[in-house]
Amino acid sequence: MAPADMSTARLIRVDQSGKGDFRKIQEAIDSVPPRNNELVFIWIKPGTYSREKIVVPEDKPFITLSGSKASDTIITWNQGRDLLQSPAISVFASDFVARFLTIQNTYGTTGIAVALRVSADRAAFYGCRIISFQDTLLDDVGRHYFKNCYIEGATDFICGNAASLYEKCHLHSMSERGGAMTAQHRNTTAENTGFVFLGCKITGSGSALLGRPWGDCSRVVFGYTHMSNVVVPEGWNDWGDHTKQRTVFYGEYKCYGPGSNRAKRVAWSRSLSTDEAAKLFTKDMIGGRGWLRPAPSHFKRSSSTIV
């Protein structure tokens, strides 16, 4: 059940110095009752939070985790090799929001190391920095929105089978030899999933592919995106399975910059038509007009209300 008042949230403060309600982020999440039906705003004071793996369980919707500035509110973990067990933060609850946080996995360059796993419907991320090397962001299932986020990695660093809109995000590739930025996992054309990048920026060192197909019907599109020369001329790769060339949907629309030249793109990628772009480059693609919400304007602690 959605909260009756979408402008007021219960405020919980996390401060490692002991001046808040909790010292640990997970303790604050654990304090939210099961089947929660009010907005909960967990305000995380500046610091590096490195001694806990964060899980937002399925029965605790409508939680916001917020710092004040991503560069000084850092959630970090150091675990690798397992796609589902390594994330610094795993989100299983619907109607989740993260604001102004750095989320990183410092495991390194020797295999899978997820910083953020999103396995819930209706999740939004604003002004966050998401950093690792391989499989940085497991954009797993559900409808998601990322705005003004910085996402860094080298191999398949945005992967999964969510339906996600990335608006004005910065993708930074650390790949030296053509690692893929995306590995989208749509398996059939019946699934309304895919990654849409709108008004984004691509930078990096070395060279990088825009994407390769984890699923047979992988779908990724870029529109109005600045592509530096880190993007290899062919743009896309079939991951060694030529049959996927007939079933993937990889498109670009009015991108610019030295990496956007489509003269040498693989023949099975496409330049989107205006009609195709109009259907994809909108929040309607994720049903966002029905669930994206502004930050609360009022906060309450016990019986008092703070404006």
- Catalytic residue flag (residue 140): no
Residue reference for tokens 């599109």: 221
Give the Cα separation of 22 and 94 in Å (integer). Answer: 23
The Cα 264–Cα 49 span in angstroms is 45
As a three-state string, the secondary structure of the chain is CCCCCCCEEEEEEECCCCCCCECCHHHHHHCCCCCCCCEEEEEECCEEECCCCEEECCCCCCEEEECCCHHHEEEEECCCCCCCCCCCEEECCCCEEEECCEEEECCCCCCECCCEEEECCCEEEECCEEECCECCEEEEECEEEEECCEEEECECCEEECCEEEEECCEEEECCCCCEECEEECCCCCCCCCEEEEECCEEEECCCEECECCCCCCCEEEEECCEECCCECCCCECCCCCHHHHHCCEEEEECCECHHHCCCCCCCCCEECCHHHHHHHCCHHHHCHHHCCCCCCCEEEECCEEEC
| Catalytic residue (one of 95, 121, 140, 156) | 156
Pick the catalytic residue: 95, 121, 135, 139? 135
Look at residue 274 and give its three-state secondary structure.
helix
* Cβ proximity of 207 and 229 under 8 Å: no
Q: Residue 17 carries which side chain, given as an amino acid letter?
A: S
Told to judge if 135 belongs to the known catalytic residues of this protein, a careful annotator would answer: yes
Q: What are the catalytic residues? A: 135, 156
